[in-house]
Amino acid sequence: MNVDSIRDGVVIDHITAGCGMKLYRLLGLDALDVPVAMITNAVSAKRGRKDIIKVDADIPVDFDVIGYVDPGATVNIIRNGELVEKKRIEMPETLVNVLRCKNPRCISSCEQELEQVFKLTDREKKEYRCAWCEVKGDM
């Protein structure tokens, strides 16, 4: 399979196999009017299989979303065909407007313009809790 190399854009690499489509949706890549390549189950020397996303445009990337869905993925920023930045994404301490609190009794369900803030409470379990009501968050 051949996917052209990109000149200005973003490559999200080392995505755990199977997580690529989830990231694709959560990053809103389906709404972009630019070439996006989604490669699933690519061969990886370290992991066996991995997913890769290539975006042929210099778009802002929400590292928090990547860190929440798949910590350990890497983001490569390409400019003029050169790799200018390579970033390994860690699990963020705080997520702002990534998750939505599902607790109907939470103040965030009714307070005007209140951000949806989640704090990392257990790194091992990848557990985030709402900063307002402390109920566990999930997608």
Binding site for other proteins (CB under 8 A): 103, 105-112, 114, 130-136
Q: How far is CA 76 from the centre of its chain?
A: 13
Minimum CB separation from other proteins for residue 26, in Å? Answer: 24
Of 3 and 133, which has the nearer Cβ to other proteins?
133
Of 34 and 96, which has the nearer Cβ to other proteins?
96
CB contact at 8 A, 117 and 125: no
Of 4 and 113, which has the nearer Cβ to other proteins?
113
3-state secondary structure 1-23: CCCCCCCCEEEEEEEECCCHHHH
Q: What gap in Å lies between CA 72 and CA 55, rounded to an integer?
A: 19
Minimum CB separation from other proteins for residue 65, in Å? Answer: 23
Minimum CB separation from other proteins for residue 105, in Å? Answer: 5
